[in-house]
Amino acid sequence: MSLLVVGLSHRSAPVSVLERAALTVDAQARLLHDTVAAEPAAEAAVLATCNRIELYADVDKFHAGVAELSTLLALHSGVSLEELTPYLYVHYEDRAVHHLFSVACGLDSMVVGEGQILGQIKDALARGQELHTAGRLLNDLFQQALRVGKRAHSETGIDRAGQSLVTFGLEQLAGREPVHAWAKGKRALVIGAGSMSSLAAATLARSGVDEVVVANRTLDRAERLAEILTEGGTGVVARAVPMSQVAEELTRADVAVSCTGATGLVLTAADVEAALAGRVGDVRDDVRDGHDGSACDDDDCVIAPHATAERTAEAVAPDTVTPAPETGGCPVGRVGDETAYEQHAALVENSPAVGGGPVRVGRVAPAVVPAARAASLYLLDLAMPRDIDAAAHRLTGVRLVDIESLADASADAPMAADVDAVRTIVSDEVAAFGAAQRAAHITPTVVALRTMAADVVSGEIARLDGRLPGLGDKERAEITQTVRRVVDKLLHAPTVRVKQLASEPGGAGYADALRTLFDLDPETVAAVSRADLLSNAGGQQNQLHENDEPKRGRA
């Protein structure tokens, strides 16, 4: 029997196909039962997340196994086999082991190094055990994958990959300006309260935003995250709101980060456009008095200053105008206040401050506002499938960065060494797992050989008792021990050597050779395997609890 995995993921299939192929818990159970009922497969496990659907099986025939597993995936996903086939990938034996270990370490995740996959692998193993579809091979494989994943996170800095992605995304939003300078004074809306959303919220808080609003379907989790942020010592004001208030909060936010497990869009382009309109309406209500687009009593106001010849002849430059006095004057802001420039440029048409030309609502005048402030609403989408409609980036005044545009973040120099270290761990563990499995394959044969030898010794001692009935107990015990030592010494070297040879690639034939040379009964070998499997089942359950991952993500 050999390990085979057939699946599709965000690396092989578009989001639309992944969404259609998603498996419910009941569908996963039916798929597992049908797989083990199929002729090529002896055991099966399903790893199903929002970004991947993989079916693992122990099969006796490669081509028949691929055909059967592909057909079953199509049947239970509801996507036709013809449509699904171009997006399927297949891994066999050592390559299948390497794939799962890489997945467990987060190397194959959309967010490189994320830790949630460990909990999902544990759930897949528990489901296979509960439904009795996971046998010895898959139990060993998934248990080892959990250990390899934990080793990668403890021995390397792969955890920093998620941090690098969030930071990289914020850097893209900030443009040429440092993130701390860009974030200072902003109001942030974080949609979701999972590991990536929590990481983004904490990063924004450390970067100097004034306020973080957390929206989540489960309000308790949002409140908990807001409480952690408030107690974090950054001085940020944090509060939680239900998802129903996202549209309202978006009208107040300067930057919004979204990372949920939703299968559909959380924010459509229409939602973002409505939020922009709401933002503009709110500000106009605040500053309507004295700012009707014609004139303002404050000489330093850049919205609608007095129409003097000097002011209409030249644009106002922020670095050459003296700020207005502390009291009185323009209620929106002072000349030299970058926030005021952004608001003024977004609100006023035909403003002399931008050279007398019309300024579209939501667009920042480049002559007044620095390049880093070229948007009035910044959106960072860290979800896959995406949470924010990609069409939103075409809206005036919106800057959208999504996870697909950050695909190269994992290749950043600070992460390269950690990724290489994890790959080395995976390669070493794959080799060790293969050697252990090949050695385990010959163990029942070796046990059967030693059992046969012990039976031969017992038979000869019984024959000696019949020939020498007067033999004393002391002498009989000494003879028995001597014979057993002789047999053990004769078998020691060949059995140790055959285990070493069997653990090497291509060593599977040594078990057959041993059975042939010593004329071992195949049924005896099979009985040893069954007994070993039964005794191992309880240990696998205990080990699963030891590998429990109470924290599915890292905040």
Q: What is the pLDDT of residue 494?
A: 80
77 known member of a binding site: no
290 known member of a binding site: no
116 known member of a binding site: yes
Average pLDDT rounded to a whole number, residues 255-282: 84
The 10s digit of each residue's pLDDT in 345-392 is 333 333 333 333 333 333 333 333 333 335 689 999 988 778 999 999
The 10s digit of each residue's pLDDT in 446-482 is 888 888 888 888 888 888 888 888 888 888 899 999 9
User: Is the pLDDT score of 532 beyond 50?
Assistant: yes
Q: Do the beta carbons of residue 52 and residue 63 sit within 8 Å?
A: no
Q: What is the pLDDT of residue 176?
A: 84
> Whose structure tokens read 């209500």?
285
Task: Provide the pairing of β-strand 237-242 with 255-258.
Answer: unpaired
- Split at pLDDT 50, 70, 90, the class of 1 is low
Superfamily covering domain 165-279+376-396: NAD(P)-binding Rossmann-like Domain (3.40.50.720)
The 10s digit of each residue's pLDDT in 139-168 is 999 999 999 999 999 999 887 766 667 888
User: Is the pLDDT score of 504 beyond 80?
Assistant: no
Q: Element (H or E) spanning 399, and its range?
A: strand 398-402
The fraction of the chain above a pLDDT of 70, given in percent, is 72
196 known member of a binding site: yes
144 known member of a binding site: no
User: Is the pLDDT score of 136 beyond 80?
Assistant: yes
The 10s digit of each residue's pLDDT in 82-124 is 999 999 999 999 999 999 999 999 888 866 787 778 989 999 9
Q: What is the pLDDT of residue 464?
A: 87
What lies within 8 Å, CB to CB, of 444 at 6+ separation is: 525, 526, 528, 529, 532
**Average model confidence (pLDDT) for the chain?**
77
The 10s digit of each residue's pLDDT in 534-547 is 555 455 555 555 55
The 10s digit of each residue's pLDDT in 197-236 is 888 999 999 999 999 999 999 999 999 999 999 988 888 9
52 known member of a binding site: yes
Q: What is the pLDDT of residue 531?
A: 55
The 10s digit of each residue's pLDDT in 159-206 is 776 666 788 889 889 988 899 999 999 999 999 988 788 889 999 999
Tell me the two tokens of residue 153: 């996170």
Q: What is the dihedral of CA 70, 74, 77, 79, to 10 degrees?
A: 140
Domain residue ranges in the chain: 2-162, 165-279+376-396, 434-538
User: Is the pLDDT score of 45 beyond 90?
Assistant: yes
Q: Residue 50 catalytic? A: yes
What lies within 8 Å, CB to CB, of 11 at 6+ separation is: 108
Q: What is the pLDDT of residue 172?
A: 86
CA 47 to chain CA centroid, Å, is 13
**Residue 292 three-state SS:** coil
172 known member of a binding site: no
Q: What is the pLDDT of residue 505?
A: 67
- Worst-scoring range by mean pLDDT, 72-76, 113-117, 273-277, 305-309? 305-309
Q: What is the pLDDT of residue 555?
A: 30
- Worst-scoring range by mean pLDDT, 63-67, 333-337, 413-417? 333-337
Q: Would you tell me the crossing angle of helices 94-104 and 116-130 to the nearest 10 degrees?
A: 130
Higher confidence at residue 312 or residue 265?
Answer: 265
114 known member of a binding site: yes
- 2-162 CATH choice from 3.40.140.10, 3.40.50.970, 3.30.460.30, 3.40.640.10: 3.30.460.30
CA distance 403 to 173: 13
Q: What is the pLDDT of residue 445?
A: 79
User: Is the pLDDT score of 419 beyond 90?
Assistant: no
Among 50, 296, 301, 330, the one annotated catalytic: 50
Q: Would you tell me the crossing angle of helices 25-37 and 62-77 to the nearest 10 degrees?
A: 150
